[in-house]
């Protein structure tokens, strides 16, 4: 018994040491707050994207963000039923408004531009053909938004980094929360580069969007909070277009495996009965 108590004590000692280490690290929270957790339609085991929200989010991207930020996804993905679900005609028209440099030169050997097609990738903002040009004008190159929602995470500390992976408690939408946080985090009116949630509070991008900047056609209120939510959801889709299909297939696989495991368990018990 003493042995058990002793080993429990030793494990508790190691745990205490680590807990005090976490306490030291947690003190930083006050200076660098984490963006508040929003509720998203695509969170949890059964959550999928809201088509109307994605379409509004694309509108926000196109009218506001695309001035500086690239979004390197193919036009045709905007017609995906699991995603924004625009019609093929809408996207064909949209793509045709862009001038894309053709990959191959023409018969005369000249590099030429042509109207875009749905198969093309959405081109970079014309003013910034590459990162260096963007950084020269804007101070820092605006990141490509195709995977932005996956590239933004923050430390949650113990025990959340364990709990965030458990069924029912999973937290996969950090990117969306960070995007929403940054867009609504310009809390100092006198300092355009100050952002509450950006690491170090200094962000190269001044507030890109305010109330009423984008005209919503479906009646949603044109507030900063809605714009931020919609564009964050849209960018989450852009980074993870397979999410709805992944969860659909996952549910079938999970159910199959659970049933299969239960069956195997009873077969195993049956077989091993003869060994006893």
Which residues of the shown chain bind another protein in the complex (CB under 8 A)? 3, 6-7, 10-11, 14-15, 17-18, 21, 24-25, 45, 72-74, 77, 143, 146-147, 150-153, 158, 164-165, 167, 170, 172, 174-175, 199, 239-242, 246-247, 249-251, 253-254, 257-258, 260-261, 264-265, 267-268, 271-272, 275-276
C-beta closer to another protein: residue 97 or 274: 274
Work out how close the CB of 264 gets to another protein at its nearest, in angstroms, rounded to a whole number.
4
Rounding to the nearest 10 degrees, give the CA dihedral for residues 213, 214, 217, 220: -70
CB of 227 to another protein, least distance (A): 23
Indicate the pairing of strand 113-115 with strand 99-101: antiparallel
Q: Shortest gap between Cβ of 200 and another protein (angstroms)?
A: 10
- Answer whether 75's CB lies under 8 Å from 117's CB: yes
Angstrom distance (rounded) from CA 200 to CA 76: 38
Whose Cβ is closer to another protein: residue 111's or residue 262's? 262
Taken in order 209, 213, 215, 219, the sign of the CA dihedral is positive
> 165 vs 192, which CB is nearer to another protein?
165
Which residues, in sequence order, are bridge partners of residue 115? 99
Q: How many angstroms separate the CA atoms of 32 and 200, rounded? A: 7
* Nearer to another protein (CB atom), residue 151 or residue 204: 151
Rounded to whole angstroms, how far apart are CA atoms 6 and 52? 60
Please give the DSSP secondary-structure letter assigned to residue 188: -
Dist. CA 137–CA 123, nearest whole Å: 19
Task: Evaluate whether 40 touches 173 at the Cβ level (below 8 Å).
Answer: yes
- Where do we find the tokens 């991008």? 205
Tokens of 179: 């995007």
In whole angstroms, the minimum distance from the beta carbon of 27 to another protein comes to 12
Smallest separation, CB 190 to another protein (Å): 28
Q: Which is nearer to another protein, 168 or 219 (CB)?
A: 168
Is 112 or 265 the residue whose CB approaches another protein more closely?
265
| Beta carbons of 60 and 71 less than 8 angstroms apart | no
Phi, psi for residue 114 in degrees, rounded to 5: -140, 170
Instruction: Measure the N-to-C terminal CA separation of the chain; round to a whole number of Å.
Output: 32
CB of 21 to another protein, least distance (A): 6
- Taking the complex as a whole, the smallest distance from the CB of residue 213 to another protein amounts, in Å, to 27
Judged by beta carbon, residue 84 or residue 227, the one nearer another protein is 84
CB of 7 to another protein, least distance (A): 5
Task: Identify which of residues 213 and 262 has a Cβ nearer to another protein in the complex.
Answer: 262
């Amino acid at each position: 018994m003493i042995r058990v108590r002793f080993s429990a004590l030793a494990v508790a000692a190691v745990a205490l040491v680590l807990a005090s280490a976490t306490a030291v690290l947690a003190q930083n929270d006050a200076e660098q707050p984490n963006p508040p957790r929003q509720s998203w339609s695509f969170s949890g085991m059964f959550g999928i994207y809201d088509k109307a929200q994605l379409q509004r989010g694309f509108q926000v991207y196109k009218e506001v963000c695309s001035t500086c930020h690239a979004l390197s996804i193919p036009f045709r993905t905007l017609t995906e039923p699991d995603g924004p679900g625009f019609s093929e005609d809408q996207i064909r028209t949209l793509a045709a408004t862009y001038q894309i440099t053709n990959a191959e030169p023409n018969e005369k050997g000249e590099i030429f531009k042509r109207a875009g097609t749905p198969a093309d990738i959405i081109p970079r903002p014309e003013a910034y053909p590459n990162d260096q040009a963007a950084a020269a004008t804007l101070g820092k190159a605006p990141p490509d938004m195709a995977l932005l929602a996956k590239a933004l995470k923050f430390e949650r500390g113990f025990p959340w980094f364990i709990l965030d992976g458990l069924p029912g408690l999973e937290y996969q939408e950090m990117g969306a929360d960070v995007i929403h946080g940054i867009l609504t985090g310009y809390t100092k009116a006198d300092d355009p580069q100050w952002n509450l949630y950006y690491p170090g509070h200094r962000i190269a991008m001044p507030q890109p969007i305010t109330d009423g900047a984008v005209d919503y056609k479906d009646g949603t209120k044109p507030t900063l909070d809605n714009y931020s939510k919609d564009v964050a959801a849209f960018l989450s889709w852009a980074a993870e277009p397979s999410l709805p299909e992944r969860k659909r297939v996952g549910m079938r696989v999970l159910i199959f495996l659970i049933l299969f495991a239960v069956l195997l368990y009873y077969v195993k018990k049956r077989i091993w009965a003869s060994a006893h």
